[in-house]
Structure formats: C-alpha cells, structure tokens
Amino acid sequence: MSRRGAIATAVLLVWIVALSLLIRRELFQAPTERLAEAALRISPEALFYVIERNGEQIGFASSTIDTTEQTVEVSDHLVLDLPVDKRLHRSSARAAVSLTRGLRMLGFRASVEMLDTPMGTTGRFEGDSLLHLTIQTSPEAEDSQTVRLTGPVVFPTLVPLVIGLSEKLEVGRHITLKVMQPGALEGKDVEVVIAAESLFVIPDSAALDSTTKRWTSSHSDTIRAFRLDIPGSKITGWVDERGRVVEASQPGTMTLRRTAYELAFENWRLSAGQRASSVTSDRDILESTAIASSARLDRSRVARLRVKLGNVDLAGYDLEGERQSLSGDTLQIDREGPEALRASYTLPANKAGRFREELAAEPLLQSGDPRIVGLAKRIADGETDPRIVAERLNRWVYDSVKKRITIGVPNAVQVLRTLSGDCNEHTQLYIALARALGLPARSAAGLALVRGKFYYHAWPEVYLGNWVAVDPTFGQFPADAAHLRFIIGGLTRQADLLRLIGQLEIDVIESR
C-alpha cells in the first residue's frame, strides 16, 4: 500500500524552498531601467526563520542575499524533522540562485534530501532563451536536457522579492506572474493579491537564559508587512516593504516565522535530545492529513461511490470525465465494466496521432530506454491487445515492486533498478512500460480510500475504449470506485492538491 500522496504537502513545501531557480527581466511590466535601478538597492543580509507545526518547532530556515558589482546571489536553506510513518525523519533543502544586477538569470543549483532520498538540480542559462538543466535523483540516475524558454517565469520563493522590487505594495493591488511549478519546466499564470497590511513584532536579537539554558528574545523590531494571497489557495504569506518574507503558513501543515538566529537555530539544536524519535498518530503527517470517511466501506467491492465534497473550491480540478461525473458538489465514480475495457485498436498506437503526449518519453519517464523497452516486450510476450497488455503490466508492477514509503522525484529507470517505492514509483514505472509498447498512458492523482480514511494517492490511466483507471500499487485492474481523481498529471501538478489539505470534507452518500 502506498501513502506517499498523504505527505505531498511536505514534499512540495520543501521543493518550493529548494527550487528557487528562475527569473527573467521580461517578467515585469516595467522598463528594464527601472528594474535595474531597483535591483541596485538590494543589499547583503541574512534572515532566519523558525518552522512550526501545531505550535511545535519542527525545523529552521535561513535566507541570505550576497551582492557584488555584477551579481546577486540568493541562497535558501531549510532543515526540518518530518513526523512520517510513526517516526521523525530529518529532511533538508538548499538552493542557490545567481542573477545579474539587472536580475537576469545566470544559473542555479538546488538539492533536497528527504527520507534518505537525495535529489539535485542544476541549471545554466545560455542567452535569454535556453536553459541547460540537469536533474539527479540518485548517484546512478541523472537526466540532462536543454529547455527552450517560451515565456517569462519566476520560481515561488523569489515571488515576494521581485514583487517588492517592481511593484508598489498597496492593499488591493492584483499582480499576475508566470510562476514555475515544482517539478515542471513551464510556468503557470498565478494571480497574487495584496490583501492586507499589518504590523509584526520580530525578535532581532536574543540572550541566553541561565536558568532554562535556552535563548530568549532580548530586542524586537516592529515591521510593516503586507499579506500576499493567491485566490483559491490556503497558503498565506506576509512580506515586508523590501519583499522579504515575514511569515508564511497553510492551515494544517506548517508555519514559517522570521526571528533571531539564536531562537531559530540554537534553541532547535539545544532541544535535539528532547525530541522523541517516535511519533503519535495525532502528529503523524500521514494520519493528520487523511480525511475520515463518513461511512465504513469494503473497498474490494466498491463499484460505485457517490460523495459530497465540501469546504473547498472545486474549480480547476479534473473531476469530470471518464468514470467520474460531478453535479454541484456531488461526485460519482463508477468502476469500468467489461465493455469499457475493450479496445478498438491494436498495439502500438500511432505516436503521431491523438496520443502523442501520452506515448512520448519524458524526463525521468524514459519509455525509450533499452532496459524499459526490453522488459515491456518480455511482459507483453508478443500480445497486441491493449487490454491484455495493460493487465499484464499492472500485475507485473504490483508483484515486482516492493511497497515502501519514499520521497523524491520518481525516476522510471531507477525504480526498475531498485524495484521499490510507493504509489508514484509504481505509477511512473507502469507508464514508462506502457508507453514503450505504444499503449497510451498518463498519471492521475487524488484520494483513495484505505481503512476508512481517504489518503492522497497516485495511479495510472490507460486508453482502451476510453481512459481507464488502473492501480499497480493496490493490484487492481481496473481500479475500484474508491479512487477520487482530482488531477491528471504527475508531480508537476501535485501542488494543486495543497488546496485540499486540512480543508476538504467528504460525506459518503452511496456505495455499492
């Protein structure tokens, strides 16, 4: 069983900190001269943050800016202990971004390590239109590619800084930026609203208490800050007049607050021996982000499920189509019957036709790799019926890939080498094998019912007579109706699931 999706929030928050990568001067609807002049006002500084969850410190972060006559260097560092699967897991992220004084991107490097899974990304820019990108998900797995940039984009952690430089912070102002999504190579238009203004009292120095042997605030500054909201998102960020983060949070996950170095780091270090290695269920991210079902279901028999979805804006989710239908706030899922599994074509499907994207190799989804192709052919054993091949692949991945929690960017070749992982690894390998045989396949993600709770989950969809959901993690062909699809797409779209964390309510109306 996979529960990786249940910790998607933690993964994405670390990626957002780590992948502060890309910013180009064309981003701003302002003269280049104005931007260059604003950039010259950037001065070296270091800021520190405490990271809390439910009032308990679980980590710390820092953000520094270094300047020379020619460049601006922005570095971010984050360390936290994630309560996952009944114990604490040390996780870290680093990012370093190099820009000209006119804020043109020169290059970047970023790394993330979670649950002993390292990931690294480096980038080098050639002129204004090409990005040479290298992604490394293990010492043995590296993907390099050249990306043609088609539009101005900015990575999430640089959004406050560039807004502070290029826009007057004024309540009511709406700003649209093309923001690079975690794991994606293209930007997405994001509207940022300056929603409120307030004063924050921020500790800027600390003293050691001789009695408690802990650092306490000795002096504070009062800072004016502005709240940046993204419509439809529950993430709230406060930035000062220089575009530097004061506080950021999302309900039910984590809060990041600016403070003095000693309060962020030294107190964290001093309390290391007091932190329990085991985690109770009320603190475990896997359990606390799950959504309790209003009815106890036997998932093996769920052919139809009707649920009422509440307390979230459903706009932008892939809830309609194929096995799912949405009426108002009521979602109905019907497991595919035998007729839906009959394909009207034989393998391989035409790669130049309708399913060009669903048959193409992608970074980290190497359907053309000889090892992937060879295995896929052995599993298919000459069969050309899409239904039979899809079922054989589902059975092979379910039987062969060991189920274990991992955090990282899923890499099909690496999964084939290790034969272990959770839902994203199962899904990535399945899709690569399917595409290698000319079977159109894509990734879906949302919620799956496990022991009376809905957990975050990912699974493949293959095209037979229509798109059919299969689940090589649970060994289901087709997947039962207790799979609620919210998005079509892989890790690049999982940020959209953040809106559900701590907010979505599910009421089971019918199951059979």
Q: Residue 310: give its domain's CATH number.
A: 3.10.620.30
Question: Coil, helix or strand for 259?
Answer: strand
The mean pLDDT of the chain is 80
| 8-state DSSP, 265 | I
Q: Provide the token pair at 252.
A: 């039910």
Lowest mean pLDDT among 137-141, 218-222, 315-319: 137-141
Same domain, 88 and 203: yes
Whether residue 327 is found in the same domain as residue 425: yes
Q: Let me know whether 264 and 297 are in one domain.
A: no
Q: Which of 80-94, 239-253, 469-483 has the lowest mean pLDDT?
A: 80-94
Residue 278 lies in a domain: no
377-436 confidence digits (pLDDT tens): 999 999 999 999 999 999 999 999 998 877 666 889 889 998 998 898 999 999 999 999
Q: Find the range with the poorest average confidence among 17-21, 114-118, 257-261.
A: 17-21
State the total domains in the chain.
2
Is residue 125, in this structure, part of any structural domain at all?
Answer: yes
- Residue 146: the pLDDT is 75
pLDDT tens readout for residues 346-367: 999 988 788 999 999 987 889 9
Asked if the structure places residue 93 within a domain, the reply is yes
Tokens, residue 414: 């690496």
Do both 382 and 456 map to the same domain? yes
Residue 364 lies in a domain: yes
Residues 346 and 241 in one domain: no
Q: What is the mean pLDDT of residues 21-34?
A: 33
Within-domain flag for 198 = yes
On whether both 252 and 321 belong to a single domain, the answer is no
Parent domain of 181: 4-273
Task: Examine the domain organization and report whether 154 and 221 are in the same domain.
Answer: yes
Q: How confident is the model at residue 94 (pLDDT cuts 50, 70, 90)?
A: confident
CA atoms within 13 A on the CB side of 248: 21
3-state secondary structure of 194: strand
Q: Which of 273, 308, 328 is the last residue of a domain?
A: 273
Same domain, 89 and 179: yes
Whether 6 shows a pLDDT value over 60: the answer reads no
pLDDT of 80 reads 83
Q: Which residue has the higher pLDDT, 17 or 103?
A: 103
- Tell me the mean pLDDT in the region 476-483: 95
pLDDT of residue 25: 26
135 and 257 within one domain: yes
d(CA 308, CA 454): 13
pTM above 0.85, yes or no: no
Residues 103 and 155 in one domain: yes
> Rounded to an integer, what distance in angstroms lies between the CA atom of residue 403 and that of residue 399?
10
Nearest CA-CA partner of 164 in 95, 107, 224, 234: 224
For Cα atoms 286, 291, 294, give the angle at the middle one, nearest 5 degrees.
145
- 174/42 same-domain check: yes
Is 280 domain-assigned? Answer: no
pLDDT (tens digit per residue) in 36-65: 566 677 889 999 999 888 788 888 999 999
Decide: helix, strand or coil at residue 82: strand
Q: Is the pLDDT of residue 28 over 50?
A: no
Separation of alpha carbons 111 and 18, rounded Å = 6
Is the same domain home to 306 and 254? no
Domain boundary among 273, 298, 332: 273
Tell which of 273, 307, 335 closes a domain: 273
pLDDT at 20: 29
Compare 1 and 374 and report the one with higher pLDDT: 374
What is the Cα gyration radius of the chain? 24
d(CA 455, CA 331) in angstroms, rounded, equals 17
